[in-house]
C-alpha cells in the first residue's frame, strides 16, 4: 500500500472525531445502555432469588439469571461503541432492538402488570432503531452504504 492509501482512512477518522458527536448518536447509546442495565438488573434479581429463595427449579433460575447477565453485555458494549463512534457498534445495537420487539409483543399479550413493561420496551426499541438508522448517526459512525466505498 502506498502512503496515500494508508493516510486516507486516518484523515477521515480524525475528521469525524473532530466533529461533535450528534445528539441522536448519544441518545441511541443511552437507550442501548438503559436496556443493558435493565437486563443486568433483571439477571441479578433472578440469580439472587434463585439462590436465596425457594424457586420451583433452582438450577433453571440460576441459569436464567446468568443468561440475562451475559445477554446484558451486548447492548452495554454496543452503547460504549456508539459513544466512542465505532462503526461496528451499530450492528449489535440494531440486533438488540430487533430482539427486544418480540419480547415486547409477548409482554403485551399478558394479562398482568407486564403490559406497561411491554409498552415501554416497544417504545424504547422502536425509538432506538429510528435513531440507529438515521443518516446523521450513520455518517457520524463512518458507515457508507452499498456502492459508496472509496
The enclosing H or E element of 43 equals helix 23-52
Is the pTM of the predicted complex or chain greater than 0.75? yes
Per residue in 39-70, pLDDT (tens digit) is: 999 999 999 998 888 778 888 989 999 999 99
Q: Which three cell numbers stand for residue 32?
A: 442501548
Lowest mean pLDDT among 56-60, 79-83, 105-109: 56-60
Per residue in 111-148, pLDDT (tens digit) is: 888 899 999 999 999 999 999 999 899 999 998 877 66
Query: Could you give the CA distance from residue 109 to residue 63 in angstroms, rounded to a whole number?
Result: 25
Query: Could you give the CA distance from residue 115 to residue 49 in angstroms, rounded to a whole number?
Result: 23
Residue 2's CB is within 10 A of a number of other CB atoms, namely 7
The enclosing H or E element of 104 equals helix 90-109
Amino acid at each position: 500500500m502506498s502512503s496515500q492509501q494508508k493516510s486516507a482512512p486516518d484523515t477521515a477518522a480524525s475528521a469525524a472525531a473532530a466533529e461533535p458527536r450528534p445528539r441522536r448518536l448519544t441518545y441511541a447509546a443511552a437507550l442501548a445502555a438503559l436496556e443493558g442495565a435493565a437486563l443486568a438488573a433483571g439477571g441479578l434479581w433472578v440469580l439472587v432469588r434463585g439462590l436465596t429463595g425457594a424457586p420451583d427449579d433452582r438450577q433453571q433460575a440460576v441459569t436464567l439469571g446468568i443468561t440475562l447477565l451475559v445477554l446484558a453485555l451486548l447492548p452495554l458494549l454496543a452503547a460504549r461503541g456508539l459513544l466512542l463512534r465505532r462503526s461496528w457498534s451499530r450492528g449489535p445495537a440494531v440486533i438488540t432492538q430487533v430482539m427486544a420487539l418480540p419480547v415486547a409483543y409477548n409482554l403485551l399479550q399478558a394479562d398482568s402488570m407486564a403490559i406497561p413493561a411491554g409498552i415501554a420496551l416497544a417504545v424504547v426499541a422502536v425509538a432506538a432503531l429510528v435513531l440507529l438508522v438515521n443518516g446523521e448517526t450513520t455518517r457520524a459512525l463512518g458507515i457508507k452504504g452499498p456502492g459508496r466505498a472509496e
